[in-house]
Structure 1
Amino acid sequence: MNPSKTGLSFLWLSAVAFIADLATKYLVVTRFALYESIDILPFFNLTYVRNPGAAFSFLANHSGWQKIFFIVLAILISAMLVYFLFKNNAAQKLQNAAYALIIGGALANAADRAYHGFVVDFLDFYWQDWHYPVFNVADIAICVGAGLLALDAIKNGDKKKSEKKA
């Protein structure tokens, strides 16, 4: 199968997400002290924190086994999604873009975890005393990818229903 006719042609998006995430983390680590925070807007700070766990610090308070677990999990999921990209037609744009963004975000956080032993987070949104968990560009890529998958399921679910009726 020709890679330009498969979803593999969307892997450039994975590279963009991967590079953008690691570049922004590098800027934060080299310019901020741990827990340093800069007010940007009345509801947004740049705040350097470290997350040894997963989303919302899930499993952060364990002895360290979670580091290897999350690295292996990211690699396995990314490999599965690369396979899905290979099987997809390039015309499946929403699904291919979603898979590519998830791959880029997952591998960027895995690289960060492998290098530092934790994930660097720095985007801090809040309202008054309530703070949303601090996150990074890789997390945005993963969430946008998940949203695109949901949109694709809704969009193509309607197509499949109409095809069954016909």
Structure 2
Amino acid sequence: MIKIANQTQDQRAENLSENLEEMRLTVKEAAKYVNESPGVVRNWLRELKPYIPAVQGENGYHYFDKPALERLMLIRQLSRDQNYSIKQIEYYFATGEAKVEPEAMEERLSDDMRKDLDTILERLERQEQFNQALVMKLDEQQHYIKESLNKRDQLLLESLKASQEAKKAEVKKKRFFNWFGSDKS
């Protein structure tokens, strides 16, 4: 049953250009038609409702006919291709489609976004300083550990040499006493 419904939706989407005059598409179908996500189309509908001639059904859902789809395509073009903000698109429609120069990205940033970016940059700088201090501390500790290990190794070698010399001396002593002991017999 679901497979049949999916096939029906796919066939409907494929035949859109032929049957647009008589069809009314749901938000999801209209989004597919204009190559956007349903969430984006819902946002456009919410923000630009007076300029999108969608029909609202008795069930409260919005349906899109050919003029509404053409308007969605224009909104998509203005938004994606010409970098218009929602406010600029609204102005475009409100002024009878007067061209608007897209805002520079810097101008589009709100004061809150600038503050957030400043805070992030400040934290990033502090993190870099912390990382540098940490690397220096780790280098110091690594040097200390290396020196400590070298001293320990040196002491162990000296101790081993002393132990070996003591054993050699003891062996000589035993040989000496063994030599004297064997002469008396």
Regarding TM over 0.5, the answer is no
Larger radius of gyration: 2
Greater share of strand residues, 1 or 2?
Answer: 1
The alignment's TM-score, normalised by the length of structure 2, stands at 0.23
The alignment's TM-score, normalised by the length of structure 1, stands at 0.25
Larger RCO of the pair (alpha carbons < 8 Å, separation 6+) = 1
